[in-house]
């Protein structure tokens, strides 16, 4: 069924759908961690960081199933996904802190603002990292 979806839907649309599903998981994780976060220092940004870290694993499964196919061995693909999203994670965490501390957004608003800024770059980077052409046979 996933292969038929990949054949019928353009890659950019598949990435948007997969990204939206992963973003829902990321948001739910973020909200759970914000609500239960024991850290007093930057609790919203700490929650964002850990939720993002876990959601990369979820996003890898979604992208591999819905967007790119399982073109790489599991651990290689997971490493590629973490490599790509880690750039966004470390770029968006200070952005999240800025949005919370200086723009005074709440957790959900800062989450969305941080995600929008890095989302487009993630598409191009992950497309390159997960392309079949890069995998040596």
Per-residue model confidence as pLDDT tens digits over 37-60: 887 888 888 998 999 999 999 999
Inter-residue contact 71 to 135 (CB < 8 Å): yes
Report pLDDT for 66: 95
Report pLDDT for 134: 45
Per-residue model confidence as pLDDT tens digits over 78-121: 888 888 788 888 888 899 899 999 999 998 999 898 888 887 77
Q: What is the mean pLDDT of the chain?
A: 87
Report pLDDT for 20: 92
CA distances from 132 to 15, 40, 112, 127 (A): 16, 44, 31, 10
């Amino acid at each position: 069924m996933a292969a038929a979806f990949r054949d019928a839907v353009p890659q950019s649309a598949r990435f948007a759908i997969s990204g939206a599903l992963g973003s829902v998981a990321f948001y739910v994780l973020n909200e759970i961690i914000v609500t239960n976060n024991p850290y007093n220092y930057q609790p919203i940004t700490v929650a964002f960081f850990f939720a993002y870290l876990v959601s990369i694993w979820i996003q890898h499964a979604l992208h591999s199933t819905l967007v790119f196919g399982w073109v790489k061995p599991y651990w290689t693909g997971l490493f590629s996904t973490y490599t790509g999203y880690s750039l966004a994670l470390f770029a968006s965490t200070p952005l999240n802190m800025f949005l919370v501390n200086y723009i005074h957004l709440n957790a959900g608003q800062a989450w969305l603002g941080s995600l929008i800024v890095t989302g487009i770059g993630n598409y191009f980077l992950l497309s390159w990292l997960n392309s079949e052409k890069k995998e040596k046979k």
